[in-house]
Amino acid sequence: MNEDRRLDVLRAIVEDYVATREPVGSRALADRHALGVSPATIRNDMAALEEGGYIAQPHTSAGRVPTDKGYRLFVDRLSTVKPLSAPEKRAIQGFLDEAVDLDDVVDRAVRLLAQLTQQVAVVQYPSLRRSALRHLELVPVGERHLLVVIITDNGRVEQRTIELEAPADEAVVARLRIRLNVAAAGHRLADLDEVLSGLPDAFALADEKLVRAVVGIVEETLAEDSEERIVLSGTANLARGGGMDFAHTISPVLEALEEQVVLLRLLGEMAEDAEAVSVRIGRETQHEGLVETSFVTTGYGADGTTVARIGSIGPLRMDYPGTMASVRAVARYLSRILAG
């Protein structure tokens, strides 16, 4: 059997099943696609694809549907990810450019991706420990409190308040602010422990307690698990069409989506290359609640460095080329905003 023709038949089956939700037969393939062979030859190719586990017969009709293995081969053999149209690109850029801060950027991105794909969109907040420090600000609040503001290169802002045993000397606070930024600005946050460790020795003994308190609060902030945050949008899209994309019920999917640790694990396992689009299909997610879904993700970040991931979750019967294009496009605009 011709290998290229078999792939053409599989591609046609996937495209028709995605479009119609109905099992696909050889006659329909011959009528809808210029495969250049007879329905009998297509039936032979379909029989070989079924024997190889790439398609299956859901019931006694003559139609076939792709399996997880068939979707995987289809995705792996996509020669290119089709680009979005110029109007779509302008709409994405215009919508995201109106964001006023990082929270707004993430919120707009997740809603936009859900709208583009009509699936569940997932955006992971930029990881604090993968970011670099842009500026560290110290702001006295009253006599005995000091506000520590950490601003990263990707626009993330973290604020912590220190309660002081005695009023802080404003000159000492100003000097500490300068020394902190000279020593730490531009460094990756994961490296700040070492960068800041010797800072207390540069101050008078009387000021050492304040300096250690500020350094300590910065280190504690970087160590907090709360940095791993994700935002979801479009869960209602899973129920469109009466949930016909799922064999039984969408409840296991919704329960899995509620467990952020599951999504964070998947995001962490998928490719680190900011330019790569990764796809987990069905059981490849290694979570029982997601066996009837596929997860398409890619990374985003400034200067080609992945600081977080963005993705789309939908049924196995999804428009893979379209979903991959949308995920990649929104990720690229996110990266441009962070780099700006």
pLDDT of residue 37: 87
Cβ count near 142 (within 10 Å): 9
Per-residue pLDDT tens, the chain, 340 aa: give them: 478 888 999 999 999 999 888 899 988 898 888 888 888 899 899 999 999 999 998 876 668 999 999 999 999 988 666 778 888 888 888 888 888 787 888 899 999 999 999 999 999 987 666 667 788 889 988 888 899 898 877 677 888 898 888 888 888 888 888 888 888 887 776 677 777 777 888 788 878 888 888 888 887 776 664 457 889 999 888 877 545 566 566 888 888 888 888 888 888 888 655 568 899 999 999 888 899 999 999 998 876 777 789 999 999 999 999 999 999 999 988 888 877 6
The residue among 136, 115, 66 whose CA lies nearest residue 233 is 115
Q: Do 237 and 243 meet the contact criterion of CB atoms below 8 Å apart?
A: no
Cβ count near 152 (within 10 Å): 22
Q: Do 314 and 323 meet the contact criterion of CB atoms below 8 Å apart?
A: yes
Long-range pairs for 62-65: beta carbons < 8 A, 24 or more residues apart: 62/23, 62/25, 62/26, 63/22, 63/23, 63/24, 63/25, 63/28, 64/13, 64/23, 64/24, 64/25, 65/13, 65/17, 65/23, 65/24
Rounded CA separation 338/101 (Å): 10
pLDDT of residue 218: 80
The residue among 189, 313, 323, 318 whose CA lies nearest residue 253 is 313
pLDDT of residue 272: 58
Q: Do 309 and 299 meet the contact criterion of CB atoms below 8 Å apart?
A: yes
Q: Do 186 and 208 meet the contact criterion of CB atoms below 8 Å apart?
A: no
pTM: 0.76
DSSP state of 125: P
pLDDT of residue 226: 47
Instruction: Give the dihedral sign, CA 20/25/27/33.
Output: positive
Cβ count near 164 (within 10 Å): 16
- Tell me the CATH architecture of domain 86-125+228-339: 2-Layer Sandwich (3.30)
Q: Does domain 3-76 have CATH number 3.50.50.60?
A: no
Q: Does domain 129-226 have CATH number 3.40.50.720?
A: no
Query: What are the residue ranges of CATH 3.30.450.40 in the chain?
Result: 86-125+228-339
Q: Which amino acid is at 189?
A: L
Buried b / exposed e over 247-264, threshold 16 CB at 10 Å, is eeebebbeebbeebebbb
pLDDT of residue 15: 92
Rounded CA separation 312/146 (Å): 41
Side-chain-side CA neighbours of residue 229 (13 Å): 12
